[in-house]
Chain A
Amino acid sequence: MATPTTDDTKAPGALRRYARMLWADKLACAAALFLLMMLLFAVFGPTLLDGAASKQNLRARNAAPFTLERGFLYLLGGDALGRPLLARIIVAAQNTLVIAAGAVAASMAVGATLGLIAGYAGRTTGEVIMRLADVIMSFPSLLLAVIVLYMLEPSIGNLVLVLAITRIPIYLRTTRAEVLEVRERMFVQAAQVMGASTLRIIFRHILPVILPTLLTIATLDFAFVMLAESALSFLGIGIQPPEITWGLMVSQGRQYLTSAWWLAFWPGLAIILTTMSLNLLSSWMRIALNPTQRWRLELGGKRND
């Protein structure tokens, strides 16, 4: 419609601007707060509560939730060894988030790099990389997990490795498809006309454009990886005690589902809430990172959809 009249007031700082856009979407805002809380748990939880979380107390075994008689940490009940669930969930946040974030970051870094190469290099290189992606895609992830866990120690780092490898093709394919599209855009050609080198075009012109897409996938993948980690624990080839993750807690608690539901419920809820928050945040991000959609959030919360 009317040509937007460019307002002359100085644009507010990017951070403040995003904060304001976040405030405009109340659900995303709550999601962000929740994630921030989980992040704080992950950073400080193990230092503050590690003792409490691993202190066994067989008298508080499967202690019921919602009572304060054993202290605040038993608010969500106790597990099969009488360890306070609340403390364990807080402590487990670190491993859970480190695994998910590590796997997502690693697969995104490798996948995006390969995708950039596949999209920008010649046909042959691209084809080879795409076939590689096919191979990774069809490689049974469970077998990969067993191979890695057998040949290396079952550590957090190696679990990250397994999960990261299986997720590489997602980023690789997306990146390549986007690169193939973006490299044909006018502004890339404009840079070529200026004499920009290939590296410059990739990092200054193509990568910033596809980054929002990759970040959106990454947030969704974060949730996926947490669930995958939990499924591996269920099958007995995931993270091993005494390390704890939410996924492991759920899978350990599942045999008490009929007698002490809270063992599996709370960590499950933590997973669900975290993945939901990520999903919400990701749909917010899709809008916030898109200059043509951003106004919806900048209207100050009046949403028209």
Chain B
Amino acid sequence: MTEHLLEVRDLSVRFHTARGMVNAVNGISWHLDRGETLAILGESGSGKSVSASAIMNLIDCPPGEITSGQILFEGRDLLTLDAETRRDINGRRIAMIFQDPLSHLNPVYPVGWQIAEAGMAHGLPRAKARARTLQLLTRVGIPDPEAAMAKYPHQFSGGQRQRLMIAMALVLKPDILIADEPTTALDVTVQAEVLSLLEELQEETGMGLLLITHDLGVVAEAADRAVVMEGGRVVETGTPRDLYHGASHPYTRKLLAAAPGKGEMRQPDEAPAPILQVRGLEKSYGPFRALRGVDFDLRAGETLAVVGESGSGKSTVARLLLRLEEATGGSALWKGEDLLQKSPRQMAPLRRQLQMVFQDPTQSLAPHMSVFQIISEAWAIHPGILPKARWRARVAELLEQVGLRPEHAERHPHQFSGGQRQRIAIARALALEPELIICDEAVSALDVSIQAQVIDLLGKLRDELGLAFIFIAHDLPVVRDFADRVLVMQKGEIVEQGSVAQIFDAPQALYTQRLLAAGLDADPDVQADRRAARLALAK
């Protein structure tokens, strides 16, 4: 048997948690070779990050505990080494970057120092560490690297922060780079850039890259091999192409099936007159103009998707329509009445016609209220919809409608999983029998398979109840599957709008094209084409 650069053998780790002992990973094994990119693919709770933490000695004991297994790095079992030796390996031989670079960078120190520290912690003289930092900042594409060294993490954009993390990891040219969800929460275009940067760097240094992700697209784009994990076990291993075309494990197949962006596109029927007409919508924060004259119509029963990257102003549209913030200009006629001119008192009765489902159900459900209270509050606020005697029955009905069970009514939000919580939020929106539901990134925080289920649910409700949707998302494949029409926004303006087929099949605006090209597809072959297109656009 050839010696791998890094090999995990039969690793089991368990944690003390709220529910007692949980086996986070159960006898998993995989290996990584020099110059290779291995992806560990899994949804939340699959235990995909645990082995990385074990490699970096980042599992706190307690509450964690490694119960069995070996981690062989160049033949040495890391788990048997003393703390000092392991510390010395960290950063020098094996480096790691994380999701959410903002919280993983120390907010109170300049980034230059933080990057240099990676060298200084292993004895690199200060001056050399600084020089190396400057070199790396240039390499990872930070503008004005000299000045950037003295800046603090909060002064960079999300993508730049991830580049800083990468620079930090590469100071000592490690043999292995572990990247834990390095592109999650980044805009698609930035995601593509970060992934290609990693790829280039790997080619330059020949390091092994361990890519932990939940995104099939990332696997298709970047991985040489992938390990699929579910419930703390490795269920399947193979190249992306093999997995995509010949997955043997039902879980892998389920994951692939859930990947959005492959269904029929909807053909909007030439619909009745618009129920909502937005004209010249403006919002400024001081001198900053977040929205600059947005015009669009929404027809009854139509699903209008608003897509764009962070900072495009797409969420602001929703918040202005629902008067969570006050517009600085424009009008929004809802059945002929201007929502923006209503006093709070006049707005109250209109609110039951317009509802919203927020991005993060963990935060949008009051933690201290039971599901029954959360849903029935709608009727307490708007008396006359439903007599109190019928509340209980109606809550049960709504819960069944969104795929939960009536007995869930007595529980509190924290007792549910993310997908279940989003179903509760939808039930709450439905309680008011609205005509329009605005979904603000309503499925973005969910795992792929859950995402698919929720989208199915929304589609079903749309068909049954004739609801109109404004569907705000950054995730293009989901929009492709769900929307009738699409608005593409950039920097507070609509750059393009049209039917879903127009946008996806024949995008006119350059920005729309770039957006589509940057999106990742689960099919390695499709992804290879996208990549080519992206490179072409970049030229």
Contacts and interface: CB of A to CB of B under 8 A. Distances in A.
B363 A197 contact: no
Contacts of A4: 17-19, 415, 417
A3 B62 CA distance: 20
Among B322, B360, B368, B412, which residue has the most Cβ atoms of chain A within 10 A? B368
A6 interface: yes
Nearest to B44: A3
A188 to B, nearest CB: 8
Contacts of A200: 380-381
Interface stretch (B348-356, B468-476, B516-524): B348-356
A151 interface: no
Interface residues of B, number: 52
Contacts of A192: 322, 324
Nearest to B318: A193
Contacts of B15: 1
A302 to B, nearest CB: 8
Q: How large is the interface on A (under 10, 10 to 19, 20 to 34, 35 or more residues)?
A: 20 to 34
A71 to B, nearest CB: 52
Contact of B364 (A190, A197, A208, A299): A190
Interface in A70-129: none
Nearest to B49: A1
A209 B381 contact: no
B348 A195 contact: yes
A190 B16 contact: no
A1 B47 contact: yes
A304 B63 contact: yes
B510 interface: no
Interface in B474-520: none
Interface in A261-305: 291-292, 294-295, 298-299, 302, 304
Contacts of B360: 186
B432 interface: yes
A299 B363 contact: no
Interface string B208-231: 000000000000000000000001
Contacts of A11: 410-411
A158 to B, nearest CB: 37
B377 A194 contact: yes
A291 B414 contact: yes
Among A2, A185, A192, which residue has the most Cβ atoms of chain B within 10 A? A2
A5 interface: yes
A291 B412 contact: yes
B24 interface: yes
B417 A3 contact: yes
Contact of B351 (A189, A194, A298): A194
A1 B22 CA distance: 8
A3 B45 contact: yes
Contact of A194 (B22, B369, B381): B381
B320 to A, nearest CB: 13
A177 interface: no
B388 interface: no
Nearest to B373: A204
A195 B22 contact: no
Given A1-B47, A3-B45, A194-B432, A187 B364 contact: yes
A197 B18 CA distance: 36
B416 A195 contact: no
Contact of A193 (B18, B19, B351, B367): B351
Contact of A291 (B47, B367, B378): B367
Interface in B36-57: 44-45, 47
B382 interface: yes
A299 B21 CA distance: 10
A191 interface: yes
A189 B359 CA distance: 12
B532 interface: no
B411 A193 contact: no
A187 to B, nearest CB: 4
A255 to B, nearest CB: 51
B18 A187 contact: no
Contacts of B412: 291
A195 B382 contact: yes
Contacts of A193: 322, 324, 351, 354-356
B64 to A, nearest CB: 9
Say what secondary structure dominates the interface of chain A.
loop
B416 A189 contact: no
A6 B324 contact: no
A102 B363 CA distance: 36
B132 interface: no
A1 B45 contact: yes
14 contacts: A3-B44, A186-B363, A187-B365, A187-B367, A190-B356, A190-B364, A193-B356, A194-B381, A194-B432, A195-B349, A195-B351, A291-B367, A292-B414, A304-B63
Contacts of B250: none
Contacts of B47: 1-2
B358 interface: yes
Contact of B416 (A6, A185, A190, A295): A6
A254 interface: no
A292 B286 CA distance: 39
Among A8, A11, A195, which residue has the most Cβ atoms of chain B within 10 A? A195
Contacts of B159: none
A122 to B, nearest CB: 13
Contacts of B23: 2
Contacts of B414: 291-292
A160 to B, nearest CB: 30
A298 B47 CA distance: 24
B537 interface: no
A205 interface: yes
A227 interface: no
Nearest to B417: A3
Nearest to A8: B407
A156 interface: no
A282 B280 CA distance: 54
In the A-B complex, list the 7 residue pairs whose CB atoms are closest, starting with the nearest. A295-B18, A195-B351, A186-B364, A186-B363, A187-B366, A208-B368, A195-B348
B411 A196 contact: no
Interface string A223-247: 0000000000000000000000000
A3 B231 CA distance: 9
A47 B411 CA distance: 45
B20 A299 contact: yes
B367 A209 contact: yes
Contacts of A291: 367, 412, 414
Contacts of B231: 2
A195 B381 CA distance: 7
A194 B378 contact: yes
Interface string A1-27: 111111010010000000000000000
